[in-house]
Amino acid sequence: MDLLGAGVPTALAVSSQIAIGTSNGLVLVFGAGQALKWCLSSVAAGAKYGPVSALSFNVDCTRLLCAFSKGQITMWDLTNGKLLRSIDSAHMPDAGIVSVRFTDDRTMAVSSDTRGAVFEMKFRHLIGKRTCESQCLFSGVRGGICVVEPLRMQNFIPDFVDGVVQIVAMASQNRAVIVAVRPQFKIVHFQDLSGDSGSFPSLAWQGLSMKTGSSMAQPALAIAKDQTIRIVQVFCEDADDVKVSDFQEVRVSFELLSISWVYPNTMIVLDVHEVAHVLDVNSGEELEFIDLTDIGFVYDVNICDCSTERESPEIGSLVKRLCSQSFVTSDGQLFILGSKGIHVLMLRSWSDRLDLLVRHGCYDAALDLAMSFYDGTAKAVLGLTGSKDKRRDTVIVKVISLLDSFVDLSMTRFSPSHGKVELLETHYQKVVSVCVETCLHVRKLDFLFGRVYEKFAEDVIAKDVFLECLEPYILKDELKHIAPVVMKDFLVHYESKGMLSAVDACIVHLDITNLDTKEIIDHCWEYRLYDALIYVYNRGLHDYVTPLGRLLSRLAQSLETESPLTKDHAQLGNKVLVYISCCLCGRSYPLDDLPSDLVIPVRDGVLECLAVDEVDEHGKSGKNFPHLRTLVDFGAREFFNVLELAFDVDDLEMDKRQSIVDKILEMMVEDTKFTATQFGALFTFLARQMGRHDRSITVDTVLFDRVLESLCAAKENLRHEECQQALIELLDTDHLNNFERNRLIAHAESAHFFRVCEKLYTLNREFDMVLPCYWNDSARQGITFKYILENLSGTSLTDVERAKIRVKVIENFDRLVKINSRESAKLVLLGYIGDLRQVAKQLMKKEAELFSFLHNVYEFHSNNPETVDFVVKDLEGEPAVLEKYIEMMCRKSPEEIVGFLKSNEGYRLEETMDICQRYQVIDAVVYLKEEAEDFEGAFDILLQKLQSGLDAMDRNGAKVAAAERANDVIVQFLQKNSFRINSSQRELFWFSNLKAIMTAQENLRLLLKASREKLYAGCAVDQAKKDFSTSNGISRGLESGVRLTNGGTILAYDEALQSLNKMMHRVIDAMMTYFPMQLILQRVLSNPAYVSGTFGELKDLLLGVLDSTVYETTLINTCALLANKDIHDRLTSLVGTASRGVFPERGRCRLCSVSTAMVHEKESVVCFQCGHSYHYACLSDASALAELPEGQRVWKCMQCDRRFRPGALRPRKMSESVTSSALSSVERQAQVSSFKAVRKSLKSPSKFQMLLQLKENPEGGRAPRLVHCERFGLRVTAPPPPP
């Protein structure tokens, strides 16, 4: 190109020839041998029309369209290199051509320019003159077209014949459109495009035969933008019927620049970073990628540089990223135009891909890829053609060749040359696994057990590994056929390794038709391979009875000689039971089903074998039914379960079922060596069979009774619940109608079949006898109470039956209490059983039950007082019961006694007090003395308790909580009872409490003083005094290096002294309610502790008294303000009511109905606030006057006042009342007096009257404060002083 002066390449077109456009306007055409065939156009034309921007071959590659960046289009004849047409009017002047494309029609092409317009060009050749007609398809006014791609069916259907339908796909930035240009212009499909506005759309056609239902390829269009590729299929049935349907959508992780199909379902896409990606369209999987940044990718930048016409805003700078003329595919090859040459990328064929992996030594990957070719799941497969079977045969040949080479190399070059044996075994395991899986996959077992096994057999280790690797494939039923030679070596190897159990498991998964049956049977008997033995007999010899008889005989010998059985013989017995179950149920051991023609013969043969009466193996008679005996001895329960499963089969004859049952009964009833467990299994089996709806089995009554007796008389019963359930099911049928019911009850009680007893007693309507069936059954004790309530509250029982239940419950009430004392209490309290007094007296001799019962009684009463209060009150008539309960509470829960005493009555005070004193329950004793009005004794006890707490504080200053609690109890006691004792006792009690506290204060101060003096003596006195003069003296003394041995004691004394001060303040605050302040201060200041003390010690006391006084004063003032406000509001309301005008509702008197307007001048009318009006004379005659407490008389409305309503009580003065002649004057006077007394007692004092009480002085001394009144509801104390 440099020699020709063509410039740099700008455009590329590929068909059977290759055409390259240059920046100087030349077009270089190369033939098949890459030889330059034509050099079209000239440098002068390039200077005039600009660089070549687009090229396009027609279908047969005889014509070439060449478009220039300034809008010129030329057509060249490639047979002789002549210019056929030069078209300058196809587009707007100086509009750059972006693309030009021939269609399937040789006389038609489409092109697009930088303005976004699309034109159709029709070529004509008439009378030696070549013409071109241009028609605009899209003007680009509403959106410029970025890319145009006509559908050319010849590209993917070589024998396609030109049709009349011409389809063109176009895409703008926001939308893709498919139009039919011929036979008439029609928009077939449009689709909105999403994604980044800076991304460029791309279009590519390809023929696909998927999802169409036929082998004929249908055109598919790939539309790419941003990171999304959408594929639609076009169906063209005829010229007027073109349909488009969505096919698939593929999303990628990179921004797309251009796309191109290389094969159906395989696409190469170019991203904005110039990386080419190979995609599988169906799965969306990326198969490979290659970086193209080094080739100097050619973009269509010359189009915009040379065009002078204004570009479309939709195209703009995006056209500079256009590369559709540099990224071209043809015949499965991708041609890429670079700045220095053309680069060709192509996909390898399937065999080349395998060979490449083999050359790199990747045999595992090569075999995996070959398997994907065999399965048809590989992606981008080239060169593998033909039908499915033909493709597989081709692949198998290649696989066998690969596998043969792989085994040879694995045994030689790939084999470890040194190291441990385990390393070599691991290597062979990997190789054998690959060989087995590959041969299984392609079904070439002859190659596996032929050439492959021969190679592995050359090495001992490799051979052993090969044989052991076959086991997992056999067990998974993937390998069912093994060559006889390999099978023989397999048995020998596992025998030498002692792994015969693995052989037993493997044989049952193999097809043994090609194996030596006799040799395998001998090996099975010798090495106890029982599963394999049964399998070989069944599948190889079609014999199902012989192995069963021989196995039962061996099991019988083991049972006679071994106790207990060895693991091998126990395993043998279990296998025999499973085998019997399979044969009787129509199953093949150990897997699958029996053939339908063998089900009945096999079942009959097995039953006959089980019921054999003697064994003639040694020519001697054996025991009766030896096989049945062997099975019962080995596992009776399991054997009878097997029979039960067999009996559930519908087509088993009735006589055969009955026969086997009769023989079992005959064998077991006549022999006394069977255990209770075995009889239990037999009984369960018989009961279930007799209880079947079809009544298939009948049992002799005598034999069944003997079985039941044996079961109930046995000491052991390991299947108790199962036997009981079976008997219950049997009772639901009529098979036991001939049995005496009482005898059945006796048997059931002996065997502890409580549910059976319940059912039998219920049938006899002995409901009271059902109760022991519940409380004796540990599993059902909890529902005893539910049964009692249901029967006593229901209507299904008679009165006599309910009475029997009550008697039974009362007689055994202690047992019910042991089961659930709470539910027992509910039975009595809700009135279902007896009365509380009777039950409690019955439990007097059983303390634990009585306590638990009464505890729940009172707990239920506290939660439901209104429901059961009258029942609990009845217990108060039995003081001995209550005192017994109180005594037990003293032992078990003394903290609950006081609450119980307060909420209950009926106990005797003296006896209860003795009990509480005996168990040292001080709080209860105090309460009882208080109830007995022995206030002095109660106070003495509390004072002793306080003194004990104060003494403990003296001994150890840290123990202050007990003293504080004792002081609080005394204060509460005195506050509650101060109004019940006389003034002298009140003074004695309060000041005794105060004296005890002040005495403790004095003693504690002396101890504190002595401790400090002792501390001073051990160190520098001046320094210590200086340290202790501060609040943190102890710590400062320690910091100064002084040894303060009593520092902790002094701190404890200080804390205790502070606590005593708080206690004294609490007492004084409470005393101020009952004693003058002067008296309290006088007593306090007369105490030696305060006489000799400093003012600092009195300061806190005086401040506390002043705070209380201020608080009470504030409280009284606040109450007065509230009362005054209420009075003011009420008076304001009354004044407003009295000042409001009154308008009568009706103009008539409510008594005489005469108009109030027609009255005499001297007559008066009375009108009330309610609107009712009366004549004065009418009201006077009706006595409508009411007398107030102050002696005033006021009018009352006859209609609104309830005293004047019909039937209401009208109070009258005694002088005016009219009563019945039956009452005397004395009786009438007493009646009126009583009525007034009731009204007075119900009337509460007004707020005003309460305020007047503040001025009263009932005892001539200081007036008591309102808050000191006992009836005053506001019980508050002064807030604590600020810290």
The average pLDDT across 977-1001 equals 86
Of residues 278 and 712, more confidence is placed in 278
φ/ψ of 28, rounded to 5, equals: -100, 125
Tokens encoding 634: 């080995």
Where is average pLDDT lowest: 324-338, 608-622, 730-744, 1169-1183? 608-622
Tokens encoding 1040: 């100064």
Most confidently predicted of 49-58, 729-738, 789-798, 1023-1032? 49-58
Where is average pLDDT lowest: 18-32, 758-772, 850-864? 850-864
Q: How confident is the model at residue 34 (pLDDT cuts 50, 70, 90)?
A: confident
Q: Provide the pLDDT for residue 1234.
A: 60
Most confidently predicted of 186-200, 226-240, 429-443? 429-443
The average pLDDT across 283-308 equals 76
Q: Provide the pLDDT for residue 1144.
A: 77
Digit-coded pLDDT (tens) for 691-703:
665 556 777 777 7
Tokens encoding 113: 């320019």
Where is average pLDDT lowest: 468-482, 703-717, 736-750? 703-717
Q: Provide the pLDDT for residue 1271.
A: 41
Distances (CA, A) of 435 to 363, 445, 506, 519, 1243: 11, 10, 20, 29, 111
For residue 199, pLDDT over 50 is answered with yes
Q: How confident is the model at residue 216 (pLDDT cuts 50, 70, 90)?
A: low
Q: How confident is the model at residue 75 (pLDDT cuts 50, 70, 90)?
A: very high
Q: H helices of 360-387, where?
A: 363-375
Percent of the chain with pLDDT over 70: 80
φ/ψ of 1181, rounded to 5, equals: -65, -30
Q: Provide the pLDDT for residue 614.
A: 66
Q: How confident is the model at residue 303 (pLDDT cuts 50, 70, 90)?
A: low
Tokens encoding 1138: 């009295």
Burial of 943 (0-12, 13-18, 19+ CB in 10 A): middle
Of residues 1116 and 1255, more confidence is placed in 1116
Return the exposure string of 733-747: e unless at least 16 CB atoms fall within 10 Å of the residue's CB, then b. Answer: eebbeebeeeebbeb
> 3-state class of 847 per DSSP?
helix
In the chain, the N- to C-terminal Cα span, in Å, equals 106
How far apart (Å, rounded) are the C-alpha atoms in residues 953 and 1004?
8
Q: How confident is the model at residue 1196 (pLDDT cuts 50, 70, 90)?
A: confident
How far apart (Å, rounded) are the C-alpha atoms in residues 1277 and 1031?
31
DSSP letters, 689-755, are: HHTSTT------HHHHHHHHHHHHH-S--TTHHHHHHHHHHHHTSSTTTTS-HHHHHHHHHHTT-HH
For residue 924, pLDDT over 90 is answered with no
Residue 1282 exposure: Cα atoms within 13 Å on the Cβ side: 0
Q: Provide the pLDDT for residue 74.
A: 93
Q: How confident is the model at residue 63 (pLDDT cuts 50, 70, 90)?
A: very high
Most confidently predicted of 401-410, 728-737, 1146-1155, 1256-1265? 401-410
Percent of the chain with pLDDT over 90: 12
Digit-coded pLDDT (tens) for 46-59:
888 889 989 999 98
For residue 1239, pLDDT over 70 is answered with no
> 3-state class of 20 per DSSP?
strand
54 contacts 100 by C-beta, under 8 angstroms: yes
Q: Provide the pLDDT for residue 619.
A: 40
Q: Provide the pLDDT for residue 77.
A: 92
For residue 160, pLDDT over 60 is answered with no
Beta-strand relationship, 82-87 and 73-77: antiparallel
Tokens encoding 406: 């792989």
Digit-coded pLDDT (tens) for 807-841:
888 888 888 888 888 888 888 877 776 677 778 88
For residue 1223, pLDDT over 60 is answered with no
How far apart (Å, rounded) are the C-alpha atoms in residues 811 and 306?
121
DSSP letters, 283-345, are: TTEEEEEEE-GGG-B---HHHHHH--SPPPTTTGGGGGG--TTTEEEETTEEEEEBSS-EEEE
Where is average pLDDT lowest: 50-54, 942-946, 975-979, 1045-1049? 1045-1049
Digit-coded pLDDT (tens) for 359-373:
988 989 999 999 998
For residue 474, pLDDT over 60 is answered with yes
How far apart (Å, rounded) are the C-alpha atoms in residues 144 and 135?
17
How far apart (Å, rounded) are the C-alpha atoms in residues 53 and 98?
6
Mean of pLDDT over the chain? 79
Other CB atoms within 10 Å distance of the CB of residue 659: 14
Q: Provide the pLDDT for residue 737.
A: 66
Considering the entire predicted model, what is its pTM?
0.51
For residue 300, pLDDT over 90 is answered with no
Q: How confident is the model at residue 400 (pLDDT cuts 50, 70, 90)?
A: very high
Tokens encoding 908: 């005797």
Most confidently predicted of 195-209, 431-445, 578-592? 431-445
Digit-coded pLDDT (tens) for 100-125:
999 888 889 999 988 888 999 998 88
